Structure 1
């Protein structure tokens, strides 16, 4: 009977993956255009937005500790409801920039609650020998669903008169559906967990890599779409098309990078990522100088696609921690600490990036990112894993 319950709950969990994928696909496609069209933000103001948006991620260890009495599933239900309320508020109750920030933070809190819990739920519904395949299946459903989200935006804005308000409401409904299907899953009494904070000198390189990666990543997340919107005037349907391409490419990169970690190791994968990122940064910086606008926008869009499809490289940092862990129980708290470091830097770096853009132009934002990528390469080359 337990196996039947597990299979039933895993099916429900896959449906949750579909609903969250559609909602996040809609949000990621329209959010930057929404900010630009509704509030006419400058580059420096766009940079400031990232501080409140990333704050829930920096505090997520504390939030999950406070919610631990609920267990993973009930905490996830709460996260999905927060995300739905945030989406609803963005669509219906954001007449001012300040009110938008409140709803954006609620959405961010909800999605950040679910992010770390989803892996735990997936593994609790699996056996040790199929952790990877089960989580891979959930990830695949989520990826396919994000393509549905992109399709809704592309069709809606091109042919059906879809507005930002209606798009946010549609996404809110999908988060509600995700909460409902999570609620249908069987819950067990949560085990009392002692919250651990582990900082060992053996993990110092991982912590530094997390900080450097967080800085570079946030420059791309914040300013790469902003260049395409502000300088080249790309619309939500065009971002939906870019999302299609990213998703299709991600299916390939997930397999290739996973195999490369097993065959070549983390040092090779992370060093290669850093080299590719240096090239991408230079593409963003100099595309407008070496080509006419019609070609420059293609170069920058290609940089955007390649960078977004490489997000799966993050698992190389996770497997690095797993392999160097002094004790097996160090892995989760060490990864959590790395995530917090990542988000702390992600809160602050866009502020300075916005000032740099306003003062000297966007080229210098990506030149700064290139310098960070060079530092990332230097650090990645220092990775050593004992046999």
Structure 2
């Protein structure tokens, strides 16, 4: 047990699992809870979701906070904030109450995810990072499965109220955060991190690919599931079953994707991801068969797991002292699309559902084209094959 508390990798697992444990519960219950307990209408859920994304957009402020609080300690505080936000959610079933608890939860979640990525890229060697990140992704998928099963048992067989379900999952994350703070060794930074917000021209390709990744993520999250429900009438049980299948497949494929990156490199992995996503989005635009739509939804989810390659590409090209700052900035860039794209494409959806996915395919095509600028062996000083600046 003592060895666990001296292991950086163990801490990365614990941070990732605790984050998914409470956030998955929050997300899976949200729509039912706000309607049944808080009588939300469409505008209120829209406001809540916008509030949820704002801390992601402001993730760059992590850099300002680590001037005063060490990254590892800030990760514990973020874990506890996430836990508190989820724990309190069920006790305040009103618009104002849910807005406040959502912001608390979201600050904790987005700070923790940003710090988790930053610490992983600092602590893991470049050789082992893809494999360990793949295993962590698999662990997160397994955690989601556990959450779905626990919620089903608690609410189906024991009729546990929403507030106690939220309190259970949020409380566990809160407790894990406290125990981690007290029990884990405080690991010294191998390289002192820059504590200012900067956009470095050397990382321009990483920034652009990160922005496009955020845009594609929004199209998948907002519209892929909506297509299944609106066009094919898929009910909530089948949607949960699909998410369950995605989690199982991620557990299997994520570690293999890590090994694939080690063997074939980031450039080839990202090309494969972007080409696959381009084909999936075009297929979404014209799909008429329910089972084909199911298949596309699952493949879509697996392909997004290959985004590990974008993180390890950055790890290889980054100056070690820039990792914390650039991770925070990239997280903000990834969320820029979340601010405007769902609303914009929601209007497009009213006129043509196919056009939304054609736009997604075009974004994937641009990413695919840019992937040819990634060197076969990227490293600091050789970030791209094209010196634009």
- Candidates 288, 294, 302, aligned match of 1:301: 294
Cα RMSD of the aligned pairs, angstroms, is 3.6
The separation in 1 between residues aligned to 2:235 and 2:151, in whole angstroms, is: 14
Corresponding residue SS for 1:264: helix
Aligned residues: 373
Cα shift readout 1:92-149 (whole Å, capped 9, x = no counterpart):
21322x5433322221111112113335666888899876776666555433222110
Task: Return the offset for 1:332.
Answer: 4.3
Task: Return the offset for 1:279.
Answer: 2.5
For the pair 1:363 / 2:360, whether they are aligned, the reply is no
Give yes or no for contact 1:47–1:350 (8 Å, CA) kept in 2. no
Give yes or no for contact 1:25–1:148 (8 Å, CA) kept in 2. no
Give yes or no for contact 2:82–2:106 (8 Å, CA) kept in 1. yes
Corresponding residue SS for 1:265: helix
What are the within-5 Å matches in structure 2 for residues 182-193 of structure 1?
Answer: 182-186=180-184, 188=186, 193=193
The separation in 2 between residues aligned to 1:245 and 1:79, in whole angstroms, is: 30
The separation in 2 between residues aligned to 1:147 and 1:84, in whole angstroms, is: 19
The separation in 2 between residues aligned to 1:187 and 1:59, in whole angstroms, is: 29
Corresponding residue SS for 2:373: coil
Greater fraction helix? 1
2:311 counterpart residue number: 318
Give yes or no for contact 1:285–1:363 (8 Å, CA) kept in 2. yes
The separation in 1 between residues aligned to 2:249 and 2:4, in whole angstroms, is: 35
Cα shift readout 1:66-109 (whole Å, capped 9, x = no counterpart):
2553323432232123212322343221322x543332222111
Stretch of structure 1 that moved more, 32-41 or 308-317: 32-41
Unaligned runs of at least 5 residues, structure 2: 379-389
1:41 counterpart residue number: 42
Cα shift readout 1:189-241 (whole Å, capped 9, x = no counterpart):
98785414443433222211111111111121222233445552532x54442
Give yes or no for contact 1:83–1:172 (8 Å, CA) kept in 2. yes
Task: Return the offset for 1:25.
Answer: 3.0
Cα shift readout 1:243-276 (whole Å, capped 9, x = no counterpart):
3211221133223322332232222221221222
What's the TM-score, normalizing by structure 1? 0.80
Unaligned runs of at least 5 residues, structure 1: none
- Candidates 171, 174, 177, aligned match of 1:176: 174
The separation in 1 between residues aligned to 2:149 and 2:238, in whole angstroms, is: 11
2:384 counterpart residue number: none
